[in-house]
Amino acid sequence: MNQQRIQIVQNILSANDAIADQNRQLLNKAGLFSINLMASPGAGKTSLIEQTVKNLCQDYRILVIDGDIATTFDADRAMAAGATAIQINTGGDCHLDAVMLNKALVQADLNQFDLLIVENVGNLVCPASFALGTFHNVLVASVPEGHDKPHKYPAMYRGVDCVLLNKIDLLPYVEFDVDFFRKGLEALNPNVELLMVSCRSGEGLENWFHWLRKKIGEFRTQNMV
């Protein structure tokens, strides 16, 4: 990468970070806890959102902002589960950026919600570079993807607060070394929380719901100080 290209990339990321800070201020002002949910295609982001909304919608008013290259399928599923949903179609971009999220945030009355889930575009490369202004980054991995993903995509795994290993119901049928996956994750991100879940069977999801409830509670406490 030559010096001119490096400068262009730095300028793009700097401009994105400035808008991300604005997004964070908007969310703080509204008292709205938020997560940026990332994964490769097919790992189970939307299934996790469905299960999360169904479990938490009695206690929290939930807004889902869905990023995808095309279609409204994921937003439709979130609404069917009980959330308010806004769709962002990137038109080809392989990630959401802070500007896209800002345009969605100003469409909603943020004061009417307690939890914002941003479903990023399915990708393990680009989303790692673009801050959105959310309070936590969460990554959904899945057993069929293989146990080497933390080693192959270090930037993504290094920058998240919680990793959910989904589709653990397939462990008896797929060659997946949980210890190898865990060691790769911990080498990159020693303080990350790893949760083993299956959106199909429901196994482990209570731990995820507990994690979310705890973080929402901590956020509310900090906002009252």
Q: Is residue 2 part of a domain?
A: no
Q: Is residue 7 part of a domain?
A: no
pLDDT in tens, 99-116: 999 999 999 999 999 999
37: domain range? 12-220
Instruction: Determine the average pLDDT of the residues in 120-124.
Output: 94
pLDDT in tens, 132-181: 999 999 999 999 999 999 999 999 999 999 999 999 999 999 999 999 99
Q: Is residue 189 part of a domain?
A: yes
- Residue 1 CA: distances (Å) to CA of 9, 51, 130: 10, 43, 19
CB 134 within 8 A of CB 118: yes
With 0-12 / 13-18 / 19 or more C-beta atoms within 10 angstroms meaning exposed / middle / buried, residue 5 is exposed
Domain of 101, CATH number, reads: 3.40.50.300
Q: Nearest 5 degrees, angle CA 86-CA 88-CA 92? A: 165
Radius of gyration of the chain (CA): 17
Alpha-carbon distance of 150 to 163, in angstroms, equals 11
Q: How many domains does the chain have?
A: 1
Higher pLDDT, 152 or 13: 152
Name every residue whose Cβ is closer than 8 Å to that of residue 112 and which is 6 or more positions away in sequence.
Answer: 61
Strands (E), 69-210: 84-89, 115-119, 136-142, 162-166, 193-196
pLDDT in tens, 53-97: 999 999 999 999 999 988 899 999 999 999 999 999 988 778 899
DSSP 8-state secondary structure symbol assigned to residue 225: -
Q: Which two tokens stand for residue 152?
A: 């192959």
Q: Is residue 139 part of a domain?
A: yes
Q: Is residue 79 part of a domain?
A: yes
pLDDT at 10: 52
- Among all chains, which residue has been given the structure tokens 């993807």? 145
